[in-house]
């Protein structure tokens, strides 16, 4: 785990679909989380993937490929309120400890 | 109240002050965390407590002193801070540290916005 890499910023149009990618180091991997954080607020949990494949939850879906160290968050039917930072986080285990390591976040701007 | 609460929400302190941040979780979780979030930087894990015992200290300076009197409460005691310590301090909790089935999913409090002058 660790060394989380995700784009810094993205812009998309209301009603469209956007995919936010995330890569991580595969060693010590124990799960991949996505959080949403509006400006000035706490991160809120969106999704958790531990097995390969796509997890769908309403307008949001998250995909994981453990062999490639790759995940994406898919947001459909974008709404203005989806403008936020999206944080990719990898649950890493090593030396008997577990830590959630966050990427810097992808700031998504939804425009009319 | 439900979820994870933090007080105060905003704090301004001088470098010689002593203050404490408080976190309380109402979720029946066993693990609690302190994070620091600075502008343009990722969330940084500071401390982890599991069943009131500290399991992680990520090389945090001693001017930050955590305390966990029980599984529901977590404190961060601050003394002789530096201006670069100004940040959003977030508390989180999870059912467990690991174990699958989503038990390690962390839920965050609203944070304390700290300004050190």
Q: pLDDT digit string (tens) for A44-66?
A: 999 999 999 999 999 999 999 99
Residue corresponding to tokens 């400006």? A39
Distance from CA of B14 to the nearest CA of A (A): 23
Which chain B positions have a beta carbon within 8 Å of A91's beta carbon? 98, 104
Which chain A positions have a beta carbon within 8 Å of B106's beta carbon? 33, 45, 100
- Give the Cα separation of B29 and A3 in Å (integer): 28
Q: Is the pLDDT of residue B24 over 70?
A: yes
Percent of chain A with pLDDT over 70: 96
What is each CA distance from B12 to A30, B18, B88, B91, in whole angstroms?
A: 38, 11, 12, 18
CA angle A82, A87, A89 (to 5 degrees): 145
Which range, of A89-103, B17-31, B82-96, averages the lowest pLDDT? Answer: A89-103
> Considering chain A, what is the average pLDDT of its residues?
92
- Give the Cα separation of B80 and B93 in Å (integer): 27
Q: Given this model, what pLDDT does residue A16 score?
A: 98
Residue corresponding to tokens 């050190």? B116
Q: Given this model, what pLDDT does residue A3 score?
A: 84
Q: Does A16 touch chain B (CB under 8 A)?
A: no
Interface touch A30/B90, C-beta < 8 Å:
no
SS3 A15: coil
Q: Nearest by CB to B102, which of A43, A48, A103?
A: A48
SS3 B28: coil
Q: Given this model, what pLDDT does residue A77 score?
A: 97
Question: What DSSP character marks residue B72?
Answer: T
Which residues have CB under 8 Å from B85's CB, separation 6+?
B63, B64, B78, B114, B116
Residue of B nearest to A104 (CA): B42
Q: Does A41 touch chain B (CB under 8 A)?
A: yes
Residue of A nearest to B5 (CA): A42
- At residue A80, φ and ψ (nearest 5 deg) are -55, -35
Q: Does A4 touch chain B (CB under 8 A)?
A: yes
Size of interface A-B (CB pairs under 8 A): 54
Quick: pLDDT tens for B26-72: 999 999 999 999 988 899 999 999 988 888 888 899 999 999 999 99
Question: Which residue, among B40, B24, B30, has the nearest Cα to B75 in the 3D structure?
Answer: B24
Please name every residue paired with A87 in a beta bridge, in sequence order, or none if there are none: A35
Q: Given this model, what pLDDT does residue A13 score?
A: 97
Q: Given this model, what pLDDT does residue B85 score?
A: 96
Instruction: Extract the tokens encoding B23.
Output: 């976190």
Average pLDDT over residues A30-39: 93
CA angle B82, B88, B94 (to 5 degrees): 125
Count Cβ atoms below 10 Å from residue B111 Cβ, excluding itself. 23
Percent of chain B with pLDDT over 90: 75
CA angle B69, B35, B33 (to 5 degrees): 35
């Amino acid at each position: 785990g660790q060394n989380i890499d995700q784009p810094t910023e993205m812009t998309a149009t209301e009603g469209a679909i956007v995919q936010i990618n995330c890569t991580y180091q595969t060693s010590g991997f124990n799960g991949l989380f996505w959080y949403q954080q509006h400006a000035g607020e706490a991160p809120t949990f969106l999704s958790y993937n531990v097995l390969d494949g796509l997890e769908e939850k309403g307008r949001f879906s998250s995909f994981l490929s453990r062999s490639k160290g790759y995940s994406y968050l898919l947001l459909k039917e974008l709404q203005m309120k989806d403008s936020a930072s999206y944080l990719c986080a990898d649950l890493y285990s090593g030396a008997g400890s577990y830590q959630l390591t966050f990427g810097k976040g992808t700031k998504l701007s939804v425009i009319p | 109240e439900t979820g994870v609460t933090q007080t105060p929400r905003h704090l301004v302190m001088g470098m010689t002050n002593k203050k404490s941040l408080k976190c309380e979780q109402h979720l029946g979780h066993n693990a609690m965390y302190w994070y620091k979030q600075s502008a343009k930087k990722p969330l940084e894990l500071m401390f982890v407590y599991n069943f009131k015992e500290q399991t992680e200290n990520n090389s945090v300076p001693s001017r930050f002193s955590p305390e966990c009197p029980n599984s529901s409460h977590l404190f961060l005691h601050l003394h002789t801070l530096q201006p670069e310590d100004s940040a959003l301090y977030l508390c989180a909790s999870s059912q467990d540290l690991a174990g699958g089935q989503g038990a390690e999913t962390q839920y965050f409090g609203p944070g304390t916005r700290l300004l050190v002058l």
